[in-house]
């Protein structure tokens, strides 16, 4: 069921909002929920209609579930029929290992994001889907407000906000076009590709994350709550070009590790992302905070992406409340420090894992060792996936 807008462009332009949030993914919707339930006037904007699909591994680890539980949304995944995860099966040509998981679920992004937006609206946030947003120049000096231009087809309006949150994801350009912050992409970064198959071989059983690893990338497969099969990959662009597209590259990788083919995989409607490993040079500016993938991202092998997004959406709320009451430049620096404490060390672990996966020899060695001693992975799995 489509989530309807709760206001119109014209109505939105008639008032000053405490917060305008651009991007209604997990980070933006979580922030909208937390700020609305604190009594702020919140406008949540997204260019897509909801529910909508996105390229994603569709797995929430223990940290993500803990964030939902902490804000009173612990039932959200259960009510949506999320599939509990029991383990990760890793494969490289000639070797397979399975590592147990103590927590985590799989849930489609259509269902998860729609549920989070609904929770934000129920908490009091206004919602405008199918709306493009861009930052405009301040209309006073020093700026007491941020101005956002909102556009739907041929209609546009300027909206005033005391604070703006940029949560427009990997493909977003709100801050870049607004001249606020540049995005630095790591040279040689892989790109994300994904698709949802309506069916798949019984080999890909519910509750297991299947990870096929190769010299030019990796492919994850997981059953969703409606028994569809989600596929998400991080591939070198050259690998995709060599094989004539992401579907053919995925078919080749599954054959390489010896796993069953997914019917019509090469013909399905694959979608892509920009380069995965990237970071914003600045995480905040005058009356503006960056959260979620807009703030930075690392190759998603560990399933940490949505955990970081939910944690950031929750953590930014107290700073935004203070900023609405009285802005001062120190808040921008403070958000950078909070974000680094919240996510920085975990990103180091994920960068290390991504570096291992860049080496065919290290990947084969890792899977060989884990095949004989899977408990060696327990400390890393617990660190990345516990409910702490």
Sheet holding 59-60, edge to edge: 59-60, 105-106, 83-84
pLDDT of residue 322: 97
The half-sphere exposure of 295 on its side-chain side, counting CA atoms within 13 A, is 32
The string of pLDDT tens digits covering residues 312-355 is: 999 999 999 999 999 999 999 999 999 988 877 677 766 677 76
Binning pLDDT at 50, 70 and 90, where does residue 174 land? confident
Do 91 and 258 form a contact (C-beta atoms < 8 A)? yes
The string of pLDDT tens digits covering residues 51-70 is: 999 999 999 998 899 999 99
The string of pLDDT tens digits covering residues 285-304 is: 899 999 988 887 776 555 68
Nearest of 105, 124, 117 to residue 52 by alpha carbon: 117
CA 316 to chain centre: 16
Q: Is the pLDDT of residue 11 over 90?
A: yes
Token readout for 286 is: 């005058």
Who's near 32: CB < 8 A, 6+ residues apart?
Answer: 19, 21, 24, 42, 44, 117, 120, 123, 125
The string of pLDDT tens digits covering residues 21-45 is: 999 999 999 999 999 999 999 999 9
Cα gap 69→13, rounded to integer Å:
34
Mean pLDDT of the chain: 88
Q: Does domain 79-107+188-275+358-385 have CATH number 3.30.9.30?
A: yes
Q: Exposed/middle/buried for 271, CB within 10 Å: 0-12, 13-18, 19+?
A: middle
Mean pLDDT computed over 191-213? 95
Q: Is the pLDDT of residue 381 over 60?
A: no
Cα gap 199→179, rounded to integer Å:
44
Mean pLDDT computed over 105-133? 97
pLDDT of residue 281: 73
Binning pLDDT at 50, 70 and 90, where does residue 279 land? low
CB atoms within 10 A of CB 152: 16
Cα gap 63→148, rounded to integer Å:
33
Q: How far is CA 163 from CA 14, 38, 288, in A?
A: 17, 15, 6
Which residues of the chain does CATH 3.50.50.60 include?
9-53+108-186+278-350
Element holding 358 (H helix, E strand): none
Cα gap 353→230, rounded to integer Å:
22
Binning pLDDT at 50, 70 and 90, where does residue 374 land? low
What's the CATH superfamily of 9-53+108-186+278-350? FAD/NAD(P)-binding domain (3.50.50.60)
Backbone angles phi, psi at 292, to 5 degrees: 65, -150
Which residues of the chain does CATH 3.30.9.30 include?
79-107+188-275+358-385
């Amino acid at each position: 069921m489509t989530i309807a807008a709760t206001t119109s462009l014209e109505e939105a332009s008639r008032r000053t909002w405490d917060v305008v949030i651009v991007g209604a993914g997990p980070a933006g919707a979580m922030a909208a929920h937390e700020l609305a339930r604190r009594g702020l006037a919140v406008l949540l904007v997204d260019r897509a209609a909801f529910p909508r699909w996105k390229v994603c591994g569709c797995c929430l680890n223990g940290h993500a579930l803990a964030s939902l539980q902490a804000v009173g949304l612990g039932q959200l995944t259960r009510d949506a029929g999320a599939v509990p995860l029991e383990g990760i099966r890793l494969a490289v040509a000639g070797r397979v290992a399975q590592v147990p998981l103590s927590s985590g679920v799989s849930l489609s992004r259509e269902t998860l994001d729609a549920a989070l937006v609904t929770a934000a609206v129920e908490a009091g946030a206004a919602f405008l889907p199918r709306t493009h947003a861009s930052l405009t120049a301040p209309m006073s000096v020093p700026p007491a407000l941020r101005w956002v231009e909102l556009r739907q087809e041929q209609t546009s309006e300027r909206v005033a906000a005391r604070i703006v949150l940029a949560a427009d994801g990997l493909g977003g350009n709100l801050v870049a076009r607004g001249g606020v912050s540049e995005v630095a992409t790591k040279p040689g970064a892989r790109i994300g590709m994904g698709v949802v198959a309506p069916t798949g071989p019984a080999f890909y059983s519910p509750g297991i994350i299947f990870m096929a690893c190769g010299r030019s990338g990796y492919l994850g497969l997981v059953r969703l709550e409606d028994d569809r099969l989600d596929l998400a990959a991080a591939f070198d662009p050259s690998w995709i070009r060599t094989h004539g597209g992401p579907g053919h590259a995925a078919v080749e990788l599954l054959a390489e590790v010896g796993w069953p083919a997914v019917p019509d995989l090469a013909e399905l409607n694959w979608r892509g992302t920009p380069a995965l490993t990237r970071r914003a040079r600045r995480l905040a500016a005058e009356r503006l905070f960056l959260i979620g993938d807009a703030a930075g991202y690392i190759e998603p092998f560990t399933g940490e992406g949505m955990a970081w997004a939910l944690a950031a959406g929750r953590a930014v709320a107290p700073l935004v409340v203070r900023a609405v009451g009285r802005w001062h430049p120190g808040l921008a620096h403070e958000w950078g420090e909070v974000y680094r404490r919240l996510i920085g060390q975990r990103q180091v672990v994920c960068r290390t894992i991504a570096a291992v996966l860049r080496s065919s020899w290290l990947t084969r060695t890792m899977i060989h060792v884990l095949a004989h001693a899977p408990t060696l992975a327990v400390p890393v799995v617990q660190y990345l996936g516990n409910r702490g």
